[in-house]
Amino acid sequence: MQKRMLGNSGLEVSALGLGCMGLSYGYGPATDKADAIKLIRSAFDQGVTFFDTAEAYAQGENETLLGEALAPFRDQVVIATKFGFEGGDVQRGVNSKPDNIRAVTDAALKRLRTDRIDLLYQHRVDPGVPIEDVAGAVKELIAQGKVKHFGMSEAGVQSIRRAHAVQPVAALQSEYSLWWREPEAEIVPLLEELGIGFVPFSPLGKGFLTGAITGGTSFDKTDFRNIVPRFSAENRDANQALVDVLKQIAAGLNATPAQVALAWLLAQKPWIAPIPGTTKLHRLTENVGAAALELSAGNLREIEAALASITVQGDRYPAHLQARVDR
């Protein structure tokens, strides 16, 4: 798989990474440990060198899983994790106090079985802690060798600028896909200006852009998509038009809708590295195949033209979670 540089940071990653959250958290029961380790190692075998986790994914369990899976080839991969929720529990709210950042980092190092975190993100901006203090705390961890690079997630323009002035931000991780293009307005130009890489999460629209989800699909009772407005049965039916366009274009390229959606992201900027997640080996291989799919200028124009008449229905988060997104 091709490699990409995350902005001006010097951090090189595979063009596509692996988002590991769903193996432990968010989309129903956790994947069997042996199966999860097999999937992570299969990703590495297929060229993926960029793996994403967080303290908040099952309160550290996902980090522990990833640490065990990657131990045999730790020095050949880039591990990204995140701090920023009280006790690693999203329900308890944010906490980016410097003391907590230090404590969470030390705990993550043990769970990940490593002596350094390649990319440490603030999971969500904490309005109660000046972003300069957050960046300063990570700067100290970098000086100590515990962390290599600083990242932010779902951060707004001013927070990114202020943090970057204290400690260069290597990457921003935020949602970006064919059905969530808000970052194109202000975020993408800012990242280009400052030389910051972009790591889109949910690049397949939490699974919707694969074409496998319809208005009749039912989710596990613990699947957070049950509370996402965009995933109401009515909105799924309305948004099917977007998937239909992807299917039509994919058919002409001998590809799948998911591959077209990922290839579209890769075509936007050379410093974008999406992190699709999956619990299925066949989906992993399908996603990895997107890195070899090159969309022509004509393909990209076709996608833009087709999408111009489609308005995606439904908010991407319920109101209480949307309130945590920095603007």
* DSSP conformational letter for 31: P
The string of pLDDT tens digits covering residues 155-194 is 999 999 999 999 999 999 999 999 999 999 999 999 999 9
- Say if residues 207 and 213 touch (Cβ distance below 8 Å): yes
Q: What mean pLDDT comes out for the span 22-35?
A: 94
Other C-beta atoms within 10 Å of 308: how many? 8
User: Number of helices and strands (H, E) in the chain?
Assistant: 11, 9
Q: How far is CA 156 from CA 74, 131, 182, 248, in A?
A: 32, 11, 12, 35
Q: What mean pLDDT comes out for the span 78-98?
A: 96
236: three-class secondary structure by DSSP: helix
Provide the pLDDT for residue 327.
66
pTM confidence score: 0.96
The residues carrying an active-site annotation are 57
Provide the pLDDT for residue 325.
77
Rounded Cα distance, 20 and 25, in Å: 9
Rounded Cα distance, 121 and 149, in Å: 9
Q: Does domain 3-204+268-293 have CATH number 3.20.20.100?
A: yes
* Helices 297-307, 233-253: crossing angle, 10 deg rounding: 160
Q: Domain coordinates of the chain in residue numbers?
A: 3-204+268-293
Q: How many CA atoms lie within 13 A of 234 on its CB side?
A: 4
- Say if residues 130 and 101 touch (Cβ distance below 8 Å): no
- Is residue 142 predicted with pLDDT exceeding 80? yes
Other C-beta atoms within 10 Å of 87: how many? 15
Q: Which of 8-17, 26-35, 264-273, 312-321 has the lowest mean pLDDT?
A: 312-321
- Is residue 112 predicted with pLDDT exceeding 90? yes
